[in-house]
Amino acid sequence: MPLLPTADPYLPGHGDPTYAVRHYDLDLGYVPDGNRLDGTAVLDIVVREQTARLVLDLAHLRATKLRLDSGRPAPRVKKWSARDHRLVLQLDRPVAAGTELRLTVAYGGSPRPVIDRYHGDAGWEELEDGVIVAAQPHGAPTWFPCNDRPDDKATYRITVSAPAGYVVVANGALVARQRRAGGESWTWAMDRPMATYLATVQIGRYATTEHDPRTRTIAPPDADLAGSFDQQPAMLEFFERVFGPYPFDAYAAVVTDDDLEIPLESQSLSTFGRNFCSPDWEQVRLIAHELAHQWYGNAVTLRRWQDIWLHEGFACYAEWLWSEESGGPRSCDAWARHHHERLAGLDQDLLLADPGPELMFDDRVYKRGALTLHALRVAVGDDAFFAVLSDWVATRAGESVTTDDFLGFASERTGADVGVLLRPWLYDAALPGFPQP
Ligand SMILES: [Zn+2]
């Protein structure tokens, strides 16, 4: 059997580089009792390299009907098959680069997370009474057929119907809410480019607290948001001062009735467990962390998973900044010193700019990534440093980037050779000394 493509070596068996998806239109129905998901996905595709085959990612769910429209003359699907969490479409003739196609896939089944040897489980997950989708990095195929590559950003329209009594939340703005037999359908639209792993659906018995016109918490009605999620408007206002304008229209934190070990960012919202309803710094820092990902990770997204420090280092640095701003346990510089000391006592076997798939979410990526930014700040001064952070988002929002892109950008903005300055932090395993002015 012919080998199926891998778009990113950190995610073997995901993604097809021969095409890109411009827009996903998902229309899904979900029945929590029995965990049944059925629906239709319409993908607007642009072919990037001539090909007679399209490979999509779809895990645990069964496609029942496929149709290909547009293109001139429109190619036909000669045959298609499902294997290894992929849908493989053979076309009746090669299609040229630049060809636009519309693919409709009807599918359904009992969705559940995918598990791989590097990243554990991710994707559509049943809760005690509801659903979360926590897809980073490899869980998107558990709920829709997609081209699962971090660099293939698309716009989305997501409609999900669920029984009465449930609230359905997805990315972007709620554009329609309609009664359907036995329940309601909710349509959400994300009109800014979004990576597949950042697409999400959250279903639960929730009430919405609007902190201000841009900031909401969607949580069980009895959740106590004081001192934790009610801090989000102040966080957002502070991050806008240091990172520039919030890159989406609004932001929501979804708090599930279940406790969750780790929260997760999606585009324009994040997901937390009820255990994060606490004013303790260990919880509050992660509320700030997930919000900061809207700038670093969601608006500006890595092109390759090896550059994950461009997300996690920045979001971790945002925690330290928020600690200083909000009168938290330490100043930013004190957090940097604290974690430098801790890292110095750990194994020095991680390359920050290429940690390998097994270590990409290692805590050292977060802390050393934040220290790398601190080193830049100490070298160029506060004004230049914060100008780099905000201009980076202002100029690259909606795009996919690499570490070299950031180094080149920061060098150009500051006049310093940032590549040379940060090389030991990024490309040497040994921990550099604490940054000195
Ligand atoms: Zn993070």
> What is the DSSP annotation of 329-372?
SS-HHHHHHHHHHHHHTS-----TT---GGGTT-HHHHHHHHHH
Residue 75 Cα to ligand 1 midpoint, Å, equals 42
Name the β-bridge partners of 30: 37
**CATH fold of 301-427:** Neutral Protease; domain 2 (1.10.390)
Residue 340 Cα to ligand 1 midpoint, Å, equals 19
**pLDDT confidence of residue 340:** 98
**Distance (Å, rounded) from C-alpha 293 to C-alpha 195?**
13
Q: Which two tokens stand for residue 229?
A: 């999620």
The pTM assigned to this predicted structure is 0.97
**pLDDT confidence of residue 254:** 98
Contacts for 111-118 with beta carbons within 8 Å, 24 or more apart?
111/35, 111/37, 111/60, 111/61, 111/142, 111/143, 112/35, 112/60, 112/142, 113/139, 113/142, 114/59, 114/60, 114/85, 114/138, 114/139, 114/141, 114/142, 116/12, 118/10, 118/357, 118/358, 118/360
For 1-200, CATH number out of 3.40.47.10, 2.60.40.420, 2.40.37.10, 2.60.40.1730 equals 2.60.40.1730
**pLDDT confidence of residue 354:** 98
Taking each helix axis as running N to C, give the angle between helix 232-243 and helix 281-292, from 0 to 180 degrees, rounded to the nearest 10. Answer: 50
pLDDT tens, 31-78? 999 999 999 999 999 999 999 999 999 999 999 999 998 766 779 999
Surrounding ion ligand 1 within 5 Å at CB are 312, 315
pLDDT tens, 418-431? 999 999 999 999 99
pLDDT tens, 361-372? 999 999 999 999
**Distance (Å, rounded) from C-alpha 101 to C-alpha 19?**
10
Residue 1 has pLDDT above 70, yes or no: no
DSSP for residue 300: B
Residue 265 Cα to ligand 1 midpoint, Å, equals 7
pLDDT tens, 310-350? 999 999 999 999 999 999 999 999 999 999 999 999 999 99
Report the relative pairing of strands 400-401 and 120-127 from DSSP bridges. Answer: unpaired
Query: CB under 8 Å to 271, separation ≥6 — which residues?
Result: 132, 134, 200, 202, 253, 254, 256, 260, 263, 264
The DSSP line for 204-255 is ES-EEEEEETTEEEEE-TT---TTTGGGHHHHHHHHHHHH-S-SSS-EEEEE
What integer is the mean pLDDT of 243-264? 97
Residue 289 Cα to ligand 1 midpoint, Å, equals 6
Residue 370 Cα to ligand 1 midpoint, Å, equals 12
The residue with tokens 């100043």 is 331
HSE toward the beta carbon, residue 383, CA cutoff 13 A: 0
HSE toward the beta carbon, residue 202, CA cutoff 13 A: 30
Q: How confident is the model at residue 120 (pLDDT cuts 50, 70, 90)?
A: confident
pLDDT tens, 376-387? 999 999 999 999
Q: Which two tokens stand for residue 174?
A: 């709620």
H or E segment at 159?
strand 154-163
pLDDT tens, 400-416? 999 999 999 999 999 99
Residue 191 has pLDDT above 80, yes or no: yes
**pLDDT confidence of residue 71:** 62
Cis peptide before 137 (omega within 30 of 0): yes
Residue 116 Cα to ligand 1 midpoint, Å, equals 20
**pLDDT confidence of residue 73:** 72
Residue 117 has pLDDT above 90, yes or no: no
**Distance (Å, rounded) from C-alpha 418 to C-alpha 179?**
56
Distance of CA 9 to the CA centre of its chain: 18
Residue 2 Cα to ligand 1 midpoint, Å, equals 36
For residues 282 and 309, is the Cβ–Cβ distance under 8 A?
A: no
First-residue to last-residue Cα distance in the chain? 58
Residue 2 has pLDDT above 80, yes or no: no
**pLDDT confidence of residue 13:** 95
Residue 104 Cα to ligand 1 midpoint, Å, equals 33
What integer is the mean pLDDT of 229-238? 98
Residue 293 Cα to ligand 1 midpoint, Å, equals 7
**CATH fold of 206-294:** Zincin-like (3.30.2010)
Q: Is the dihedral of CA 312, 316, 321, 323 positive or negative?
A: positive
* Mean pLDDT value across the chain: 97
Q: Is the dihedral of CA 25, 137, 11, 297 positive or negative?
A: positive
pLDDT tens, 125-169? 999 999 999 999 999 999 999 999 999 999 999 999 999 999 999
Residue 366 Cα to ligand 1 midpoint, Å, equals 8
* Structural domain spans, the chain: 1-200, 206-294, 301-427
- From residue 314, give the alpha-carbon distance in Å to each of 86, 225, 307, 371: 33, 26, 12, 9
Residue 315 Cα to ligand 1 midpoint, Å, equals 6
Residue 128 Cα to ligand 1 midpoint, Å, equals 25
HSE toward the beta carbon, residue 380, CA cutoff 13 A: 24
